[in-house]
Amino acid sequence: MASSSATGAALVWFRRDLRLQDNPALHAAVQSGRPLVCVYIHEAGSAFELAPGAASRWWLHHSLIGLSGAISALGGKLVLRSGDAATLLPAISREAGCSEAFWNRSDVPHISARDCPLARQLESVGVKARGFRASTLIDLPTHLNGSGAPYRVFTPFWKSALKTLEPRAPLPAPTRLPAGPEIASEALDSWNLLPRAPDWSTGFDADWTPGEDAAHARLDSFLANALGQYPEDRDRPDIEGTSRLSPHLAWGEISPRTIWHRARAQAEQTGLYKQTEKFLSEVGWRDFAIYLASHFDDLRRMNFNRQFDHFPWRDNPAGLDAWKRGQTGVPIVDAAMRQLWATGWMHNRTRMIVASFLIKHLGVHWREGMDWFEDTLVDADLNVNAASWQWVAGSGADAAPYFRIFNPVTQGERFDPDGSYVRRWVPELAGLGRKQIHAPWSEPAGVLAMAGVTLGKTYPHPVIDLKTGRDQALEAYQSMKSDAQAAAVLGIDS
């Protein structure tokens, strides 16, 4: 209920929650009855906010245009400022005469750690600060196992969540956003979020429309057209079988609660219960990654399993470079890395394949791959990305065992059975048939010549023989285990 006696404006600080619907901080600010000062602060490079990667900056630019337009349409204004939030929030509050500040808490641990000092700082200048939880399904801090400790394994985490979880219904979008005092805003273009020439993001427009409306449209389309086949199709990079909601979720353009309720409602109508549960459990994996990051040490920089501190990573700049450029000579890996470069996104199955190839066949530290993904994914999410890389490396919580080494050829044959995914992204192999396309090096030169392929000329030789890479990976794993055991016997902390 709006309070008519409220004096002073309310500051609403938008962060990775670029939406009007189901935005608890915005909702509470509107309910306060105060005029609103809506602010987005570009903190790139501050001690607290890591600069978003290049693909994420592209997304942010367009998303802010959408959010700003939606706020204006309701009578408000989105103020853009760049700098340190700790300096800007009190300054803006003073400038606009705000007596309350509302924001949704960050899920990145070192960022959320400063929310309390920020709130105290604001309170010391007479501004009451109020924080909300907005980006996960589960109340992560209080979701603990029977012994009161954080879960380390997804299945019990999710099973116990499902017993108690009934996320509240999404909050409606406001119908009016009464603008507070006019204060200066920076020009979005001055932030230079879009790539400079040569612009590699020209293909993004064909695949993506950032913003809240597009997020809802994508969810609707997925529920209507793909949910029924999701459990089977979700592993096929050659099929549009998943929701592609990840960048919208990463920027908070749609809330997981909205997804939960809309999917459940669809299941009631269509009877697609099993498919809906599978889909929602994937959204649960996102919660789990954020949960791990909030309960354990810095997952972006430290191995969750400290035995991996003894892993003998290889210095392999040429391999890493070939991997980034999609020139490894291993077709499914190259197709996926080129899809990432061209569209800012990659299918989950191929994310696992390329990560396994980099870490295990090429022996490169998982952090190198994580950093590249952070820079090139439109859905880059620091927590999910780090947890996923550690999952593939075997160093993470509930991780795939290290010795599970994906064979990119059999993975390709299984999940891209007629080779159409490879043909799309590696056109120089398009002349090869389904039986040849995933391992061109095994084919006689004559067969390759008929398809216009000359290894070493039109397409690279593999950067590593797959069997050699696998053997080296297993040797490295044994050596890590021996070193970790020796360190434990000697009482040396890793």
Ligand X SMILES: Cc1cc2nc3c(=O)[nH]c(=O)nc-3n(C[C@H](O)[C@H](O)[C@H](O)COP(=O)(O)OP(=O)(O)OC[C@H]3O[C@@H](n4cnc5c(N)ncnc54)[C@H](O)[C@@H]3O)c2cc1C
In the complex, least distance from residue 348 CB atom to ligand X, rounded to whole angstroms: 3
CA nearest neighbour of 38 among 61, 17, 60, 7: 17
In the complex, least distance from residue 374 CB atom to ligand X, rounded to whole angstroms: 7
In the complex, least distance from residue 243 CB atom to ligand X, rounded to whole angstroms: 3
CA nearest neighbour of 119 among 160, 154, 90, 80: 90
Stretch that binds ligand X, among 195-203, 246-254, 304-312, 433-441 (CB under 6 A): 246-254
Helix ranges (DSSP H) in 296-438:
317-325, 331-343, 348-356, 366-376, 382-393, 408-415, 420-425
Question: Known catalytic residue: 253?
Answer: no
User: Of residues 215-234, which lie at the interface with ligand X (CB under 6 A)?
Assistant: 234
Nearer to ligand X (CB atom), residue 6 or residue 302 = 302
Stretch that binds ligand X, among 19-27, 152-160, 206-214, 372-380 (CB under 6 A): 372-380
| Residue labelled with tokens 């406001």 | 174
| Residue labelled with tokens 């059975």 | 417
Stretch that binds ligand X, among 166-174, 318-326, 387-395, 486-494 (CB under 6 A): 387-395
With binding defined as CB under 6 A, does residue 108 bind ligand X? no
With binding defined as CB under 6 A, does residue 365 bind ligand X? no
Question: Known catalytic residue: 58?
Answer: no
Cis omega (within 30 of 0) on the bond before 150? Answer: no
With binding defined as CB under 6 A, does residue 10 bind ligand X? no
CA 494 – CA 491 distance, rounded (Å): 9
C-beta neighbour count of 337 within 10 angstroms: 27
Choosing from 304, 389, 402, 406, the residue that interacts with ligand X (CB under 6 A) is: 389
φ, ψ for residue 11, nearest 5 deg: -90, 130
With binding defined as CB under 6 A, does residue 136 bind ligand X? no
CA nearest neighbour of 441 among 453, 450, 426: 453
Catalytic residue (one of 95, 200, 282, 441) = 282
C-beta neighbour count of 478 within 10 angstroms: 10
CA 299 – CA 292 distance, rounded (Å): 8
With binding defined as CB under 6 A, does residue 415 bind ligand X? no
C-beta neighbour count of 454 within 10 angstroms: 12
In the complex, least distance from residue 286 CB atom to ligand X, rounded to whole angstroms: 4
Nearer to ligand X (CB atom), residue 129 or residue 346 = 346
Question: Known catalytic residue: 285?
Answer: yes
Question: Known catalytic residue: 348?
Answer: yes
With binding defined as CB under 6 A, does residue 364 bind ligand X? no
- Output b/e per residue, 401-424; b: 16+ Cβ within 10 A: ebeebbbbbebbbebbeebbbbbe
Question: Known catalytic residue: 282?
Answer: yes
Question: Known catalytic residue: 13?
Answer: no
Choosing from 46, 112, 348, 407, the residue that interacts with ligand X (CB under 6 A) is: 348
With binding defined as CB under 6 A, does residue 277 bind ligand X? no
With binding defined as CB under 6 A, does residue 352 bind ligand X? yes
Choosing from 193, 377, 432, 463, the residue that interacts with ligand X (CB under 6 A) is: 377
φ, ψ for residue 39, nearest 5 deg: -135, 140
With binding defined as CB under 6 A, does residue 422 bind ligand X? no
CA 314 – CA 365 distance, rounded (Å): 8
Task: Tell me the catalytic residues.
Answer: 282, 285, 313, 348, 366, 389
Binding site for ligand X (CB under 6 A): 234, 242-246, 249-250, 282-283, 285-286, 289, 348, 351-352, 355, 373, 377, 379-381, 384-385, 388-389, 392
